[in-house]
Amino acid sequence: MHSFFNPQSIAVIGATPKTFKGGYAILKNLKTTFKGRIYPINPQYAEIEGLPCFPSIKDIPEAVDLAIIFIAAVHVPAALEQCAIKGVSGIMIESGGFAEADEKGKSLQDAIRSFVERTGIRVWGPNCMGLVDGIRGHIFSFTDPKVLPFCLHPGPVSLIVQSGMLSAGFVIDILSHGITGFSKVCSIGNKADIDESDVLSFLLEDPDTRCVGLYLESFVNGRRFMDLCRKSDKPVIVLKGGRSRKGAEAAVSHTASLAGNYRVAAGALAQAGAYEARDFHQLVDFCRTLALYPPKRNKSRGRIAVITFSGAAGIVSTDFMNELDLDVAELSEATKIRLGRIFPEWMPVANPVDIWPAIEQHSGTGLDIYSLAMEAALDDPGVDAVLVHAFSGYTRIRLDFDKISRQSRSSGKPVLLWLPGNRDDAFQVQIKARDCGVLVFHELYRAVSCLSILFQRTGTCWLPEGNQPVPTDELQNIPDDISDLLNNAGGSLDERLSKNILKSFGIPTVEETWIKDPRLCESKAISMGFPLVMKGLQTGVVHKTEHGLVELNIVGPEEARQSFERLLQKMNGRGSVLMQKQLQGDVELIMGAIRDPQFGPCVMIGIGGRMADLIEDSVFTVAPLSVKEALDAIGRLRTQTLLDGFRGSQPADRHVLASLMVTLGHLMARYPRIQEIDINPILVSGSQAVAVDATVVLSNP
């Protein structure tokens, strides 16, 4: 990757003097920003922009590190061959017309892939805007040469984006508003060869990058991406495009990428300790925040002191904090006494700390009330971070950003500022704050949402345990019939067979009996005890309730016989009947497993029963997984209070649930023929968890 990020010489294939063309913009941007040798390539010109122009890359007398290509897609394969002959280290294809366009483009992109496999030369793109390096000042992109070179600014944030707009227009927006500078901005386009994980891997080692933000519509290799996140202590923040089903449809029509199942991706990111953003601006907000305050292993709780000049802003901050699961810090008595000294006598000290009356009282004395209040708050052991409200352009509010930065660093506690104000003053303040390493936000809710990302209580600590190997022991004593089934059957197995598989792997299933002889129905019912459930099993019918094939609340032998007859009638005699104890669990859950095209085998836990029709609450994790990871996943269920026992019911044993998830994960890892497992419901009471119904789907033999 080095040749892309730090080349000594660059050839621009498709350079042109026509100023409205991309090939001109790339050359112009290089001329303005790149200190190494630049070779325009175009057979029609002898010289462009004062640089000697070559008909082909082969004609360049010196060595070339990087070739940037911006010519019509159809001519790209030939250009690649010339690059190979020349022996370049890397190739960046910025022109479009490949897999994102049509069938012809798809085959051209396939040609790029085979070129890479054949030559080992790495290719970046196609259909991308290349690379912008804020530290070195490089622009390897066809972005407007009149704008970006003049607002480029170094900073700790790097971006990897699957969108040209984000690497050009949006970055100009962020830079020109003084929000943050950038280390590298990488537009990776169609990812024919180099993908998000390749670039991420480089940036996690890059000393200039303190935080990586990504806009992705798909993951080429979800597991590699997760491993990179796990192994690094640099924060990784992902904005996943195509979260909604409709969003995913748009993704497919936009690029050649497959927008994977968002819920799987979200689970995988959380599992790997990555963060999620929901909007472009939020992506940059989270990046600049986490770059300045990298999360710690032992997170503090998120008890926030608010220092404000406005009671209303204090109240609305508190409302936001409450929504985002942050605590309003209880100030210590010592802090109250300290603040009381600068407060007017009539005013009690509370959090939010309204310092306006103190500012008025000490007006003209030169006392820096903001600094005093911040110092007091940062010294309080019950305060984990400080949210400061100020205003730019009002002479009575003065902030010393160098001091704030020092205060924050020496206390080790984040300080975030909400700073609305007169446009010109606000901009000066933004620039000053950026340069001092102080976080300033123009909108209150954005400041509070960045506070919340700092103290995110997802249950995932920053450096989670690595993946566990599949234990082979416990999966070894499998009965022959189950092995046969797993090796030879195919498609969707019925409830009885599915649960037999689960049972043989140690997952408790409901007590049940399979009735074929109607004469035995009553006696079996009596020996099992009431109430009972009876279900009709019919090949290919998974949703039994919808087909009227579930009879509940059977309280006597007579009713059992009647149910049996009704069920057989409904199935026209073609099916069998399963009789089960009717269980009553404290909590009804769903568990399952799937194979995701981007992340491989994944285990799911969710809220089941009636609740599930109202609240979609399920969490995916990538398998195999550790007990710790399973517990973390359970801790990400929004309605997990359900597990904590209420109205006298006993709390569900999370360790039992976690170990079932681990088992499901091992099953998926061990038996690649299992495509899907669905346990719905699994009834939980304390440490008892019983699978009541299940479906296992195998790949076809």
**Which residues within the stretch 155-174 sit at the binding site for a second copy (CB under 8 A)?**
161-166, 169-170, 172-173
How far is the C-alpha of 332 from the C-alpha of 247, rounded, in Å?
48
| Site track for a second copy across 542-571, x = CB under 8 A | ---x--------------------------
134 touches 154 (CB < 8 A): yes
| Site track for a second copy across 32-71, x = CB under 8 A | ----------------------------------------
Residues 6+ apart with CB under 8 A from 423: none
Asked if the bond preceding 55 is cis, omega within 30° of 0, the reply is no
Confirm or reject binding of residue 176 to a second copy (CB under 8 A). yes
Tell me the chain's radius of gyration from C-alpha atoms. Answer: 31
Q: Angle 506-511-513 (CA atoms, 0-180°, nearest 5)?
A: 120
Confirm or reject binding of residue 151 to a second copy (CB under 8 A). yes
Q: How many residues bind a second copy (CB under 8 A)?
A: 92
- Residues 102-121 interacting with a second copy (rule: CB under 8 A): 102, 104-105
> In this structure, how many other beta carbons lie within 10 angstroms of the beta carbon of residue 529?
10
At closest approach, how far in Å is the CB of 220 from a second copy? 17
- Residues 477-516 interacting with a second copy (rule: CB under 8 A): none
Stretches 248-256, 370-378, 464-472, 505-513: which one binds a second copy (CB under 8 A)? 248-256
At closest approach, how far in Å is the CB of 582 from a second copy? 13
| Site track for a second copy across 198-237, x = CB under 8 A | -----------------x-x--------------------
CA distances from 324 to 189, 307, 327, 450, 634 (A): 34, 18, 9, 10, 19
At closest approach, how far in Å is the CB of 615 from a second copy? 7
383 touches 413 (CB < 8 A): yes
At closest approach, how far in Å is the CB of 425 from a second copy? 9
At closest approach, how far in Å is the CB of 525 from a second copy? 17
Residues 6+ apart with CB under 8 A from 323: none
Nearest Cα residue to 385 out of 286, 465, 307: 307
Count CA atoms within 13 Å of residue 473 on its CB side. 0
Binding a second copy (rule: CB under 8 A), the pick from 46, 85, 315, 337 is: 315
Question: 289 vs 626, which CB is nearer to a second copy?
Answer: 289
* 268 residue type, one letter: A
Binding a second copy (rule: CB under 8 A), the pick from 278, 296, 301, 341 is: 278
How far is the C-alpha of 539 from the C-alpha of 492, rounded, in Å?
9
- Residues 633-662 interacting with a second copy (rule: CB under 8 A): 639, 641-642, 646-648
E-state strands within 488-628? 491-492, 512-515, 532-537, 550-554, 576-581, 587-596, 600-607, 618-622
* 117 residue type, one letter: E
Compute the Cα dihedral for 659, 661, 662, 663 and give only its sign.
positive
How far is the C-alpha of 443 from the C-alpha of 419, rounded, in Å?
7
Tokens of 576: 């069998």
Binding a second copy (rule: CB under 8 A), the pick from 59, 319, 330, 402 is: 319
Binding a second copy (rule: CB under 8 A), the pick from 137, 149, 154, 247 is: 247
How far is the C-alpha of 17 from the C-alpha of 27, rounded, in Å?
9
Binding a second copy (rule: CB under 8 A), the pick from 59, 330, 443, 616 is: 443
> In this structure, how many other beta carbons lie within 10 angstroms of the beta carbon of residue 230?
18
Stretches 27-35, 594-602, 612-620, 686-694: which one binds a second copy (CB under 8 A)? 612-620
Binding a second copy (rule: CB under 8 A), the pick from 410, 469, 613, 700 is: 613
At closest approach, how far in Å is the CB of 501 from a second copy? 26
Question: 367 vs 611, which CB is nearer to a second copy?
Answer: 611
At closest approach, how far in Å is the CB of 313 from a second copy? 6
Question: 26 vs 493, which CB is nearer to a second copy?
Answer: 26
Binding a second copy (rule: CB under 8 A), the pick from 246, 297, 516, 519 is: 246
At closest approach, how far in Å is the CB of 242 from a second copy? 5
- Residues 333-392 interacting with a second copy (rule: CB under 8 A): 346-348, 350, 352, 354, 363-364, 391
Binding a second copy (rule: CB under 8 A), the pick from 122, 243, 362, 561 is: 243
Binding a second copy (rule: CB under 8 A), the pick from 365, 472, 610, 700 is: 610
Question: 401 vs 445, which CB is nearer to a second copy?
Answer: 445
Confirm or reject binding of residue 424 to a second copy (CB under 8 A). yes
Task: Convert 617-640 into a string of H (helix), E (strand) and C (coil).
Answer: CEEEEECCCCHHHHHHHHCCCCCH
Asked if the bond preceding 601 is cis, omega within 30° of 0, the reply is no
At closest approach, how far in Å is the CB of 386 from a second copy? 16
Compute the Cα dihedral for 142, 144, 147, 150 and give only its sign.
positive
